[in-house]
Amino acid sequence: MPKIVSVGAYLVDIPVETVRTDAVQAFLKQETIFVEVRTDDGLTGTGYSYTIGTGGRAVLSMLRDHLLPLLEGRDARDVEALWHDLFASTRATTVGAITSLALAAVDTALWDLRCLRAGEPLWRLAGGFRQAVPVYDTEGGWLHLPTDDLVRGALAAQEAGLRGVKLKIGRPRPEEDAERVAAVRAAVGPGLDIMVDANQSMTYAEARRRAHLLEPHGVYFFEEPLPADDVQGHRELARSTTIPVAVGESMYSVGQFRDYLARGAASVVQADVARVGGITPWLKVAHLAEAFNVVLCPHFLMELHVSLVAAVPAGAYVEHIPQLRAITRAELPIEDGHAVAPDVPGLGIAWDRDAMDDLRVL
């Protein structure tokens, strides 16, 4: 058996490539937690997860103090068993963000190993539905940008062939949000999808009012209108508007997605592979979405999500936010508005080890 002989974890801080703001926060840096798992047949799998500025050291401590020591001597092929054993070892802190982020770093390393050993790319080994998936851009839609910049960003994305753009909403007046979306729609016409994202900033009443104002502009989905634990509020909002409600970036277990879908509280799921605990649970969410006949548009991490969205039938979009260019040696290829999943064995991310070493903090 390919026995795990050594494991390690470290933290890399990646500066943001541009100013990024939404209704509740600014994205100041990406704390990127890496795990490397080496087996006795000479292979090494690299996995990672992230935070957007806080908690990275806590995730690293969870890995070093509790999870990684449990891996040595185990069969690296037993990905499902390893995930469950690690989860069970942290019952006192599950379900929770720190534990899920730590599990994801391990799980993605094990999937990297699985793909390397099989000689297959992730998109094929995880399902193999198709290799290229539509892309929408978020980088030109941040909340602090004036309306003219939103329009320019949307037109640039359209000119580049991307299939959609996301605009952050949550301005003090609902009418201002509607005016900004209307200006973008007028500029790009009906052929470009427009998504909006409130980042959990609204009450049900506020979100319902904004949804009513936005409906005439053909919004593709309304993302995180309410706090993520307000399942009932999302259910009522979904019943009150024709705009599909999207949730998931702030959910940390498969069970949370089940509750939303079973209650009709979401039409789009946005499972984040790092926050839900890795590729193993992410695929369960993807198949759950398919069973409920809803689409999957994951949050962030385009370099990894491209392969996962390509793997499953429910995958609809990859979100374009470049954030790993400082530590990788290749760009994500985009052709005719579609991101193309890497066709090399493993996760397919071309890490720049020297750059990672330069930005390593722990």
Q: Closest Cα partner for 163 from 131, 138, 127, 126?
A: 138
Residues 6+ away with beta carbon under 8 Å from 215:
241, 242, 243
User: What is the helix (H) or strand (E) element at residue 210, kind and residue range?
Assistant: helix 204-214
The Cα 171–Cα 218 span in angstroms is 20
- Selecting among 168, 234, 305, 320, the annotated active-site residue is 168
If one counts every other C-beta atom within 10 angstroms of the C-beta of residue 129, the result is 16
**Residues pairing with 313 in the sheet:** none
Any idea what DSSP says for residue 38? E
Contact 294, 312 (CB under 8 A): no
The Cα 262–Cα 201 span in angstroms is 24
62 is written with which tokens? 């969870």
Contact 165, 140 (CB under 8 A): yes
The Cα 12–Cα 10 span in angstroms is 7
- Selecting among 3, 234, 284, 299, the annotated active-site residue is 299
- Strand, helix or coil for residue 105: helix
Question: Does the active-site annotation cover 29?
Answer: no
Question: Does the active-site annotation cover 84?
Answer: no
Residues taking part in catalysis: 168, 299
